[in-house]
Amino acid sequence: MEEKELEFAPRYFFHAYHLTETLKLKEIDRLFNITARTQSSTKLVYQEGEDRFFLIYRFGSVIFFNVEPERQRAVIEKIRMLIGQKPEMLTSEEFTVDIRHGEKNAVGFERASLDRLTIERVELIAFILAQSTALEYFEFKVNDLLRETGDIGQALKQRGRLQRSATDIKKFIGQCITTKQDLVASLYLLDKPDETWDDQMLDNLYREAVEMFELKDRYKTVDYKLRMIQENLELIADLLQYRHANVLEWAIIILIAIEIVLFVMQMFFMGH
């Protein structure tokens, strides 16, 4: 992207959305009648003007740079028609970039100030926002799982037994396992872009943005909560096994009792 020589400080807007856990980029690319500027196994980059881009990432995030709201809605609607109306929560962020010639680059929570604008910088900030919205999705999802685990524990505390059926609990355990797998599959969320290895300025900008968005700390927190949920699930699984064993024991006792009654009845009738 060529640097714009303007007398005032131009301002640009990023809009970031997370739509689902995984997007099939080859299928996504067929939706649009323009050729992707960049196409890889992890992202698609489309340019619709000198300074208008939208980027689609395999881990489910879509980022718009300087794209009007109507076009944003049209792109998202196309993607949602392909993936289906997901029941999961849609996470989003808005970020502002000010171009201030001659000033030092700086990244804040809601805006960045750059001395010039390049496609490499646009893609770098877009990637950070994509990481942040994806992590926010997992944060919401894991907090819901944690609350549900707490409800099960509260029921045990108050009543001394599991209130839910074994099938419902097994479905919940499966949901937790799937969430853990999705998070592990998205480990590259924290990978540094290749461009930062060859450009010190981009590397500094990336490090500052990662620290500002607290990506690594947030990821560790989500992973810690999932491990805590896993420990609770192991206890619940043990209780399920114990409850199942109790059912079997009672079934055996009842069968033995029936056999005894039948034996006594048989002896009684034989005696008469």
Q: Write out residues in the chain with pLDDT < 50, as ranges.
A: 3-7, 245-246, 248-250, 263
**pLDDT per residue over 263-272, tens digit each?**
455 555 555 5
At 189 the pLDDT is: 59
Domain positions in the chain are 11-121, 133-271
Torsion of CA 68, 70, 72, 77, to 10 degrees: -170
Q: How far is CA 263 from CA 76, 148, 219, 252, in A?
A: 73, 49, 65, 16
What is the predicted pLDDT for the residue at 11? 87
Q: What stretches of 84-199 show up as alpha helix (H) in DSSP?
A: 119-159, 166-185, 195-198
Distance CA 259, CA 57 (A): 66
Cα–Cα distances in angstroms (integers) from residue 151 to residues 86, 147, 158, 173, 180, in the given order: 25, 6, 11, 14, 20
pLDDT at 164: 67
CB 45 within 8 A of CB 53: yes
pLDDT for the residue 257? 56
Q: What is the pLDDT of residues 145-203, one digit of tens each?
A: 888 888 877 777 777 666 667 677 777 777 888 887 777 776 565 677 777 888 888 88
* pTM, rounded to two decimals: 0.78
CATH 1.20.120 fits 11-121, yes or no: no
* Cα three-residue angle 226-231-235, rounded to 5 degrees: 140
Distance CA 229, CA 161 (A): 19
